[in-house]
Amino acid sequence: MSANKKEVLLEAHDLRTWFEIKKWGFLHVGFVRAVDGVNFKLNRGESISLVGESGCGKSSLAKTIIGINRPTDGELVFEGKSIKAVNDGDMRQYKSEVGFVQQDPYGALPPFMTIQRILEEPMIVNGIKDKAERRARLEQVMTELKLTPIVDFLDKYPHMLSGGQQQRIVIARALVLNPKLIMADEPVSMLDASVRVEILELFRKIQAKRELAIIYITHDLSTVRYFSERIWVMYGGKIVEQSPVRELLLEPAHPYTRALLAAISEPDASNIDRYKKVPPGEPPSLLNPPYGCRFHPRCEYMISGLCDQEEPPDFELAKNRLTACWLFKDKEDASDVAI
């Protein structure tokens, strides 16, 4: 079946995930607003890269989407149904539709389980009782991930595999329930550079073939263009720019995105990891975030009395682009603001 890319798979409406901070275990100090008013629409089969400097809330958003974190407020709507209102059975169904690939493959795999057990477990938990069906699915995902000959892997334990093989097992496990969305949180950042490209290529092929939606969190802007159609830029618990990748790399709108790209002389493969050189200034405290636009203490275009007072909403630019910056109020294109 062909995925209709115009059809919305997942929506977030003013999504918030706050973590309570306590002193001496009981005294309320405040909340870390890790996800603080996130709005997006993700289409079926679409691949998104989620970028932003360390601590801006990317993993917290990922964990909220896959159901590990409970949203403090706002809602997620999956295939038209609010996740907030679902019963336990529907929640289990939702979790089976959304796979997770995390950064550290070794940490993600239970050390005392064989590969066969690791890959079968999600199917058993989700009530797939037919052994032949489990075996068929296991063979399918292992073949897709080039974990062949299959029998060479089934009785092994995670520590017997290389980092690249371990991460392919993590991806296989995420796919075994035929999800519609994969949340991939820096899936290759802990692997050797030589294996990274190979795994990302494989992942990309599987995503296209299965018409899977992917949210790919990365610090590596060099892979973004190659891996995704759209990019979301996160800052201080919010998504501040959403754009097709090409347009964003050619003509970033939000001052933070511009500074992020300027921190990398050339966003291409030779600059792997340079994105860690973030714009000057300190990232905002998520315990006491700045008033108004969270980027205003670092922004050279800050409009006094506005940016430091009122939070900018998402302004729609041409070509399917959104940006939360006052400079773009009533503008129709990123190039309308020459900064």
Ligand X SMILES: Nc1ncnc2c1ncn2[C@@H]1O[C@H](COP(=O)(O)OP(=O)(O)OP(=O)(O)O)[C@@H](O)[C@H]1O
Name the binder of 293 from ligand SF4, Mg ion, ligand X, none, CB < 5-8 A by kind: ligand SF4
Q: Could you tell me the smallest distance in angstroms from the CB atom of residue 43 to ligand SF4?
A: 27
Sorted by sequence, the CB contacts under 8 Å of residue 3 that are 6+ apart come out as 44, 45, 211
Closer by beta carbon to ligand SF4, 98 or else 327: 327
CA torsion through residues 69, 73, 78, 82, sign: positive
Name the binder of 303 from ligand SF4, ligand X, Mg ion, none, CB < 5-8 A by kind: ligand SF4
With beta carbons less than 8 A apart as the criterion, state whether 65 and 77 touch: no
With beta carbons less than 8 A apart as the criterion, state whether 47 and 206 touch: no
User: Within 13 A of 326's CA, how many CA atoms are on the CB side?
Assistant: 18
| From 72, 303, 333, 337, residue interacting with ligand SF4 (rule: CB under 6 A) | 303
Closer by beta carbon to ligand X, 96 or else 102: 102
By CB under 6 A, tell whether 255 contacts ligand SF4. yes
Q: Could you tell me the smallest distance in angstroms from the CB atom of residue 39 to ligand X?
A: 17
| 54-62, 80-88, 203-211, 318-326 -> range binding ligand X (CB under 6 A) | 54-62
Q: How far apart are CA 246 and CA 249, in angstroms?
A: 5
By CB under 6 A, tell whether 293 contacts ligand SF4. yes
Name the binder of 32 from ligand SF4, ligand X, Mg ion, none, CB < 5-8 A by kind: ligand X
By CB under 6 A, tell whether 54 contacts ligand X. yes
Interhelix angle 163-175/193-210, rounded to 10 degrees, is 20
Q: Is 331 exposed, middle or buried (0-12, 13-18, 19+ CB in 10 A)?
A: middle
DSSP state of 180: S
Which residues make up the interface to ligand X (CB under 6 A)?
A: 19, 32, 34, 52, 54-60, 286
Which residues make up the interface to ligand SF4 (CB under 6 A)?
A: 254-255, 293, 295-296, 299, 301-303, 307, 312, 325-327
